[in-house]
Structure 1
Amino acid sequence: MISNIQEHHSEEEIETIRLQNEVRQWKLELDFVAQEIEFYLDIFNSSLIKRTKVNRVDSEYLFDQFQDLREINHNILKTCQKFLPRLDEMNECDDIQCDHAFINAHIVLRKKIEKHLKEVRNIKYSAFCFLKDGIEKFLD
């Protein structure tokens, strides 16, 4: 698996390298998101939440949202891990249809990841606002 483009690489090899690098970047981002999700789950499951004057129903809802995100994130990460080695097969393609199949699969995965990351941001923002409000009430 090559990560740097060299002068001797063909256009097909360059495209494969580019796609592999993008998938590697997604994996790094999804790994970090997994850590963030665990952090929020720990917070919402902690005694800290019980001590603040927050709405318990909202707290449980956010906890459930992060549990769902954890499962989705795990599944997408597994998909990336399976897809990355398959990109080496792209260099073996003999026709444009084969190339397009890999590129289309990559685009579908990209859209799935982008949608997931948008959802992660939205739920993290809700959690941030919820926690900020709870802390402010606690300090008053």
Structure 2
Amino acid sequence: METLQSYKSFTDDKSIEELQFNILTDITSLENLKFELQFYKLLLDKPIFKPHEINLYETLVKFKNEIQALNENCTNLLNDLSSDAKLIGKKIECEDLACDHFFIKEHDAIKHKIFNFKEKIFIFKFRLFQFIESVINN
């Protein structure tokens, strides 16, 4: 499955309030994704799969490892967003155009990481759902 779309920044023209709102929205979204990833891990631990599937255990372990990596990536992005929220608060005090550019550039870099992360999540979920559908007991 290929990337659905490429990243496009719309950060330059946003007010501080819009940036703060977007940060809070991203935090909520990532926290929900962490909860979702925990559910997938729990699901993979349940005895709901056909017993004699080839490489079932290895595939389940692979998915669990991917979940762990995605969860760690999500935690790192949440930390980045928390730092960005503090920086955006300081942007209010900034009167310099170069200062504005710095904050917008930092915010945009985080937004780009989040965009890429969400693309990885979509691809992971697509693969996971296909796998589960093919090996689940009826």
When normalised by structure 2's length, the TM-score is: 0.82
Q: Distance in 2 between matches of 1:121 and 1:104?
A: 26
Report how many residues are paired. Answer: 124
Task: State the one-letter code of the partner of 1:44.
Answer: L
Task: State the one-letter code of the partner of 1:111.
Answer: H
* 4+ residue segments displaced more than 6 Å: none
Q: Distance in 1 between matches of 2:101 and 2:35?
A: 34
What is the match of residue 110 of structure 2? 109
Task: State the one-letter code of the partner of 2:122.
Answer: R
Q: Distance in 2 between matches of 1:109 and 1:77?
A: 10
Specify which structure has the higher proportion of helix.
1
Higher gyration radius (CA): 1
When normalised by structure 1's length, the TM-score is: 0.81
CA-CA distance at 1:119 after TM superposition:
0.3
Q: Distance in 2 between matches of 1:34 and 1:132?
A: 22
Question: Where in structure 2 are the equivalents of 1:6-25 lying within 5 Å?
Answer: 15-25=15-25
Q: Relative contact order, CA 8 A, sep 6+: which one is greater?
A: 2
What is the match of residue 58 of structure 1? 59
Q: Percent identity?
A: 22
Q: How big is the alpha-carbon RMSD for the aligned residues of Structure 1 and Structure 2?
A: 1.7
Question: Where in structure 2 are the equivalents of 1:37-76 lying within 5 Å?
Answer: 37-49=37-49, 51=51, 53=53, 55-76=56-77
Residues 13-33 of structure 1: CA deviation (Å, up to 9, x unaligned): x71111111111100110110
Q: Would the aligned equivalents of 1:45 and 1:63 in 2 still touch at CA under 8 Å? A: no
Q: Which runs of 5+ in 2 are unaligned?
A: 1-13
What is the match of residue 96 of structure 1? 97
What is the match of residue 5 of structure 1? none
CA-CA distance at 1:63 after TM superposition:
1.0
What is the match of residue 79 of structure 1? 80
Task: State the one-letter code of the partner of 1:127.
Answer: L
1:120 aligns with 2:104: no
Q: Would the aligned equivalents of 2:91 and 2:100 in 1 still touch at CA under 8 Å? A: yes
Local SS of the residue matching 2:65 = helix
